[in-house]
Structure 1
Amino acid sequence: MDGIPHLGHGFRFQWEPVQNCHVLLYPEGMIKLNQSAGEILARCDGLRDVAAIVTDLETAFAASGLRADVEAFIAMAVDKRWLRLESVAA
Structure 2
Amino acid sequence: MSPVLSTTIDDAVVPRFPHGVRFREDKARGRFILVGPERIFNADDVATEILKRCDGRKSFGEILFELTEVFTAEASVIRPDVESFLGDLRDKGMVEL
Q: Say whether 1:40 aligns with 2:50.
A: yes
CA contact (8 A) 1:4 1:46 kept: yes
Return structure 1 stretches of 4+ with deviation > 3 angstroms. Answer: none
Structure 1: gaps spanning 5 or more residues: 86-90
TM-score (norm 1): 0.84
Match of 1:52 in 2: 62
Cα distance in structure 1, aligned partners of 2:41 and 2:80? 23
Cα distance in structure 1, aligned partners of 2:39 and 2:28? 15
**Closer, same or farther: CA 27–79 of 1 in aligned 2, 3 Å:** closer
Cα distance in structure 1, aligned partners of 2:92 and 2:19? 12
Cα distance in structure 1, aligned partners of 2:36 and 2:93? 11
Structure 2: gaps spanning 5 or more residues: 1-8
Deviation at 1:27, TM superposition (A): 4.1
3-state SS of the aligned residue for 2:20? coil
